[in-house]
């Protein structure tokens, strides 16, 4: 029987990644993944979002294949300089709300980031009760954020409510990426009821104590299920001015894997 080449690499990579965890107190078991081996984006896992982004961003999100598709077993989110409805740029934002939720465990995403001023790709999570309670009361876990005006630096962050007036507390740290030939890196978090730890290529760089988010008698937002969001934003409060010479620009996702905590 002939095995698909990527399947062999995927198996080897998964086995290698698992080795360190069996030497620690916490073990993980693969429960769900999207390896993007199907010809189309799997709508059993993913929802498309539409319209303008927040934070003064400049793109219009849509589901056109020009903006979101699978090629060579990778999800590609592609931004264009293109007038569409109320915006001069188009891009895509996908989420797993009501399709796949996560509570504790290890989430890892192998990705290649777009470059150039004005790009703002992100791999992040919102509380699954987002529609019911709104933001910031649902909480936010940013697994990876990057702004093209600061090449080589990625960020991990936590955002949560501190009172009943929509005020937010935020904790974050950054990581300087090593230079690699293919520019793909694995961004991951390990999340349990006590803390959230952040890694790039297995290198730990940031930890958050979940007890720090306990506020005004509410159940801690980070002890509830979350859903995953992947998007490529442009401009806005953080990314700033957009360099129109970079388009089209692509955000590549090779795989997403979720490991539950093994009992």
Q: Which residues are catalytic?
A: 140, 145
If phi over 0 gives left and psi between -120 and 50 gives alpha, with beta otherwise, what is residue 110? beta
Dihedral, 5, 109, 112, 130 alpha carbons, nearest 10: 140
CA 176 from centre of chain: 17
**DSSP codes, 207-258:** EEEGGGG--TTPPPGGGS-EEEEEEEEEBHHHH-S--GGG-SEEEEEEEEEE
**CB-based contacts of 62, cutoff 8 Å, min separation 6:** 48, 50, 84, 90, 92
Question: How many CB atoms within 10 Å of residue 174?
Answer: 14
**Do strands 140-146 and 119-127 pair parallel, antiparallel, or not at all (unpaired)?**
antiparallel
Let me know: does 78 contact 91? Beta carbons within 8 Å.
yes
Three-state SS for 175-218 is EECCCCCCCEEEEEEEECCCEEEEEECCEEEEEEEHHHHCCCCC
Question: How many CB atoms within 10 Å of residue 164?
Answer: 10
**Do strands 153-161 and 93-95 pair parallel, antiparallel, or not at all (unpaired)?**
unpaired
Nearest to residue 91, comparing CAs of 231, 228, 242?
231
Let me know: does 233 contact 92? Beta carbons within 8 Å.
no
């Amino acid at each position: 029987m002939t095995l698909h080449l990527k399947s062999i690499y995927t198996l080897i990579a998964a086995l290698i990644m698992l080795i360190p965890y069996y030497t620690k107190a916490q073990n993980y078991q693969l429960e769900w993944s999207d390896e993007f081996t199907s010809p189309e984006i799997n709508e059993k896992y993913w929802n498309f979002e539409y319209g303008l982004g927040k934070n003064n961003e400049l793109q219009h999100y849509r589901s056109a294949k020009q903006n979101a598709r699978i090629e060579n077993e990778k999800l590609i989110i592609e931004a264009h300089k293109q007038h569409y409805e109320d915006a001069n740029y188009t891009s895509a934002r996908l989420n797993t709300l009501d399709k796949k939720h996560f509570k504790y465990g290890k989430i890892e995403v192998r990705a290649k980031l777009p470059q150039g001023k004005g790009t703002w790709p992100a791999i992040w999570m919102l509380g699954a009760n987002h529609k019911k309670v709104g933001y910031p009361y649902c909480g936010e876990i940013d697994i990876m954020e990057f702004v093209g005006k600061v090449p080589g630096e990625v960020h991990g962050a936590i955002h949560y409510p501190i009172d009943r007036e929509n005020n937010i507390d935020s904790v974050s740290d950054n990581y300087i990426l090593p230079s690699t030939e293919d520019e793909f890196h694995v961004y991951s978090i390990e999340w349990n009821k006590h803390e959230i730890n952040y890694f790039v290529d297995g290198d730990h760089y940031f930890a958050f104590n979940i007890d720090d988010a306990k506020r005004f008698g509410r159940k801690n937002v980070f002890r509830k299920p979350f859903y995953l969001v992947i998007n490529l934003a442009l401009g806005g409060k953080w990314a700033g001015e957009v360099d129109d010479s970079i388009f089209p620009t692509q955000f590549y996702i090779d795989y997403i894997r979720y490991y539950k905590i093994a009992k």
